[in-house]
Amino acid sequence: MRLFMWAAAGLMLAACAAKPSVSEFQCKAGDWQTIGLRDGATGAPSSQLLAHQDACGDFNIIPDREAYLLGWQEGVVNFCTAANGFDLGERGVGHNRVCTGNLKEPFASAYADGRQLYRVRNELTQLERRLAERRNRLQWLKDEMTAVAAAQLNPDLGAEERIRLVNDLHSLAEERGEVKAQIPSLQQQADAKEMELQRVTQLLAEVAYP
């Protein structure tokens, strides 16, 4: 049964990987300018036409390259705006570097600004996560030490068990000291990163990306 499930999953993945870039209907409709416009507007490279050519080859249809490129160039103009570049950068999304000529610099500059904002936010999030993990660990260690200390009060404990509990308490206290020592440094880094985020946000608020 498990083998069958793995085989089925493999077939599904293969089917997804083999999904054609355009449908039979699109191939036969032949509106290649609109398809090019769609691809360009989403930042797909013009080489995407090769994938369409493969897909339509099954129906003995050859895409209209001239119409496709005409639409693609129009779509790229819509994609390569400063506003879109900033949005992609801020979300940490990559792009295919389809912006050239006079479209390249405004897009690339805005993308870099958005990417900077994404980077600083991401770094702050990571620091805050590490701080939360350390504080949670510190609380857990405190609770464990309390439990071990309470267990030591049991009058029925044997000598071997008492020694084990003493060793456990020592190990927990040692780790607690290490974790506690890490928190101020992490907090300092998080505070500095928060200030950096405020500076970057303020600077970019003064820049308009129409």
What pLDDT does 122 receive? 98
DSSP 142-175: HHHHHHHHHHTT-TT--HHHHHHHHHHHHHHHHH
| pTM (global) more than 0.85 | no
pLDDT attached to residue 208: 74
The whole-number pLDDT of residue 3 equals 37
Please state, in angstroms and as integers, the Cα–Cα distance from residue 8 to each residue in 2, 15, 19, following that order.
Answer: 10, 11, 17
5-9, 155-159, 162-166, 194-198: the lowest-pLDDT one: 5-9
pLDDT above 90: percentage of residues in the chain: 85
